[in-house]
Amino acid sequence: MSTISELQLLKVLAQEMNMRKAAEKLFVSQPALSQRLQNIEKEWGAKLFIRSQRGLSLTAAGELVAQFAVDTISNEEKVKEAIHALRGEVHGTLSIAAASIVGQNWLPGVLKEFIKSYPRAKVSLITGWSSEILKSMADGSIHLGIIRGGSDWKGAKKHLFDDPLYLVDSKISSLDQLMDTDRPFIQFKSDSSYYEEIQEWWHRQFPAPPKNTIYVDQIETCKQLTFNGIGYSILPGIALQEANENLFQVPLQDERDTPIYRSTWLIGYEAAFQLKQVQAFLDIIDEYVAGENSCEKKQGF
């Protein structure tokens, strides 16, 4: 039977599908990794990966063994977490999947406090779109998800915060200027719910689409282009912490002249909420959010 280190090797190879990237992640040389893989394939009596110029591909046998590796490592972590929970200590791995914008702008402050308070706990973090996070939660390998916008999540759910949406530009200071400007609207690729929300707002406000649009793949790229005066964009408040004083930030409003907000939610399964590292993380979040709210009140927001 394979050792845990061999199972970890298989898991990383299946995730990266690239020998160089896997070797870097495992802190071994490519020749050493290649030799280890050959030995593992001999042990299993089957070819597990096929190499090509594009990288690695799993064989049918490889898919079975890779899934076995993932399941075994996951089960081992759950047993360790259960044992540590019996001792009343916060150990184990806290697995989080967070919307990219939250992972870049809000979550680091929370994780800093968590790691400082519980240095023996480990953190596994992946980021992506909220729709991707909902899918990754389905297999049970993630303890908590942090998503943006509305959701029909049926499990445990906790509201974290709302942040308003702004039209941001270095030149445009009011919505009335949008139909006359030739400045490009910088739009980033996003979840369909966010895109639809912006489209609905635009159509309520204006009879025609923007004259010129620049499409980018990430919100961070959109933000930097806007901050450097290339065009205007619609960004949530969470992304504007580093905005300079020369940028205009015009709040978006709905048909009732009410500010439009983007909500952030923490989701998970009830079983995960019973783990000590998850409970400890939730306590840190409560303290962090309370601290943010206190600062906003002091600043008059």
Nearest partner of 279 among 41, 164, 117, 167, judged by Cα: 117
Beta bridge partners of 236: 165
Question: Residues of CATH 3.40.190.290 domain(s) within the chain?
Answer: 162-262
> For position 1, what pLDDT does the model report?
41
Residue-wise pLDDT tens digits, 36-80:
999 999 999 999 999 988 889 999 999 999 999 999 988 888 887
Helix (H) / strand (E) element for 191: namely none
Question: Residues of CATH 3.40.190.10 domain(s) within the chain?
Answer: 90-158+265-298
Q: What is the second-level CATH architecture of the domain 90-158+265-298?
A: 3-Layer(aba) Sandwich (3.40)
Give the pLDDT means over successive 10-residue stretches in the chain (301 positions): 74 93 90 93 94 91 94 85 69 89 92 92 90 81 87 85 94 92 92 83 91 92 94 94 86 92 91 88 92 58 45
Fold of 162-262: D-Maltodextrin-Binding Protein; domain 2 (3.40.190)
CB 188 within 8 A of CB 221: yes
Q: What is the second-level CATH architecture of the domain 4-71?
A: Orthogonal Bundle (1.10)
Helix axes 19-26, 4-16, angle to 10 degrees: 140
Q: pTM of whole model > 0.75?
A: no
Residue-wise pLDDT tens digits, 144-179:
999 998 777 888 889 999 999 999 999 999 999 998
* Distance of alpha carbon 44 from alpha carbon 73, whole angstroms: 18
> For position 120, what pLDDT does the model report?
85
* Distance of alpha carbon 229 from alpha carbon 265, whole angstroms: 32
**DSSP single-letter state for residue 176:** G
Question: Residues of CATH 1.10.10.10 domain(s) within the chain?
Answer: 4-71
Helix (H) / strand (E) element for 214: namely strand 213-216
* Distance of alpha carbon 149 from alpha carbon 264, whole angstroms: 6
CB 255 within 8 A of CB 71: no
Q: What is the dihedral of CA 21, 22, 26, 29, to 10 degrees?
A: -80
% the chain with pLDDT above 90: 57
